[in-house]
């Protein structure tokens, strides 16, 4: 149930994007731009400047922190729930770490702590994907394994 509540991040991001004084571009802007705390023109090192102004940055960052906390807490609560104990615990450890990394992304806005924000953001996805792959192995042999395998492949592709 906690992992389903992680979907809270999407309405928070959408609400933050809709409050931009200039339209937020889902193509040109990054998700991290939604959490930027000030309004300014930023150069991200690619020689492409872009104007970022996210009046609802608190909402975007809070949604990211909540998402990470729910992800980590769900992993802790499911620590012993898997039929294949070793791969289940590895999966939950990786998912919990990815939740903590996601919380760091929200606690460290890109304009305030760019290096730490980028490190946490870049590490979070592969750690979570590795946890999802381990979860497939934790479920192997059961009817849920096929569903988990399909879901993991879909998430990795998208």
Give the tens place of pLDDT for each residue, 19-75: 999 999 888 889 999 999 999 988 776 667 888 999 999 999 999 999 999 999 999
pLDDT of residue 95: 94
Given this model, what pLDDT does residue 156 score? Answer: 65
With contact defined as beta carbons under 8 Å apart, do 49 and 42 qualify?
yes
Kind plus residue range of the DSSP H or E element containing 102? helix 85-107
Query: Under 8 Å CB-to-CB from 110, ≥6 apart: which residues?
Result: 30, 32, 33, 35, 36, 117, 118
Q: What is the pLDDT of residue 81?
A: 74
Closest CA to 92 of 108, 79, 111, 81: 79
CA pair distance 15, 59, nearest whole angstrom: 8
Domain boundaries, the chain: 2-157
pLDDT 10s digits, 96-132: 999 999 999 999 999 999 999 999 999 999 999 999 8
pLDDT of residue 140: 74
Q: Using alpha carbons, select from 11, 27, 98 the residue that is nearest to residue 59.
A: 11
- The pTM of this model reads 0.85
Please state the separation of Cα 90 from the chain's center in Å. Answer: 19
**Is residue 151 pLDDT above 80, yes or no?**
no
- Does the pLDDT at position 85 exceed 90? no
């Amino acid at each position: 149930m906690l992992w389903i509540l992680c979907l809270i991040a999407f309405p928070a991001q959408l609400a933050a994007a809709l409050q931009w004084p200039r339209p937020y571009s889902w193509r040109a802007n990054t998700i991290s731009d939604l959490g930027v705390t000030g309004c300014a023109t930023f150069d991200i090192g690619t020689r492409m400047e872009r104007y970022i102004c996210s009046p609802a940055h608190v909402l975007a960052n809070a949604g990211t922190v909540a998402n990470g906390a729910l992800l980590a807490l769900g992993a802790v609560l499911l620590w012993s729930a898997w039929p294949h104990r070793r791969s289940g615990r590895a999966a939950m450890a990786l998912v919990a770490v990815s939740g903590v990394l996601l919380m760091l992304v929200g606690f460290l806005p890109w304009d305030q702590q760019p290096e730490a924000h980028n490190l946490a953001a870049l590490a979070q996805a592969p750690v979570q994907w590795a946890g999802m792959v381990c979860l497939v192995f934790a479920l192997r042999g059961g009817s849920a394994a096929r569903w988990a395998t399909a879901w993991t492949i879909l998430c990795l592709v998208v």
